Amino acid sequence: MRKAIIAGNWKMNKTPAEAAELVKALVPAVKDADCDVVVCVPATDFAAVKEAAEGSNIKLGAQNVHFAKSGAFTGELSADMLKACGVEYVVIGHSERRQYFGETDKTVNARVRACVAAGMTPIICVGELKDERETGYTDIIVEYQTLMALHGLSNDEVKASVIAYEPVWAIGTGLTATDEQANETIGVIRKAIERKYGKDVSDAVRIQYGGSMNPGNVKGLMAQPEIDGGLIGGASLKAPDFTSVVLYNK
């Protein structure tokens, strides 16, 4: 059985003081969660969140990582820098990074490999645009993005990775794939991993749904056999909402 993982993606929100306040509210609320709990926060919040989450079951995550060890990359953060700050998980290849900052499948793979080499767990985002779904290319898009992102990893490294299926048309729009649509596409991703790495790997890798999961739809989505958790956007910014998602089975 795969252990569910619920990760909040705060995006560009929360000052350090606001971040600490939110995490302090979450610590007692989610202490009995049956799933892994992660908050992926802006780099300016690392220290505040790490201190607020000390001794709890809440893990610290980042929202991006550079693929180089060091160098002339103004504004970027290396895997070693993140690791030194206590980061354990890194969101890589989010559609907003692809759309606004020129992220490609090749750079996603480079970032994934740097993340894994530093001993952190990547949360690799894949997903299709609205017109790609409407024209029937969803399966091809998510298979290609997944296998490109995982290229060069060992079987054990793939097993330890997390994939987040996020239909781009459902991010920040209030739209959500139906439970069945999400389950079906995640099943496609799992089958692609099975063909490349074997059934033991595909059975072990955790695949989240990342398209506007919230307290209102989490139970239905998490009841699907292929869905192993969620990458939560807006609902992760309020303690009651995120708690409801984390405790979906309570």
The two structure tokens encoding residue 189: 């991703």
For 61, phi and psi rounded to 5 degrees? -130, 155
166 catalytic? Reply is: yes
94 is an active site residue: yes
Q: Report whether 163 contacts 122 (CB < 8 A).
A: no
Contact 52, 19 (CB under 8 A): yes
Alpha carbon 223 to chain centroid, angstroms:
19
Phi, psi dihedrals of residue 243, rounded to the nearest 5°: -60, -45
CA distance 8 to 37: 8
Contacts (Cβ under 8 Å, ≥6 apart) of 1: none
Report the DSSP beta bridge partners of residue 207: 163
Q: Could you tell me which of 167, 232, 168, 180 has the C-alpha nearest to residue 36?
A: 232
Spatial CA neighbour of 193 closest among 130, 124, 134, 121: 124
Catalytic position from the list 96, 143, 166, 226:
166
175 contacts: CB under 8 Å, gap ≥ 6:
169, 211, 212
Classify residue 220 as exposed, middle or buried by CB count within 10 Å of its CB (0-12, 13-18, 19+): middle
* Catalytic entry in 66, 94, 143, 157: 94
Active-site positions?
Answer: 94, 166
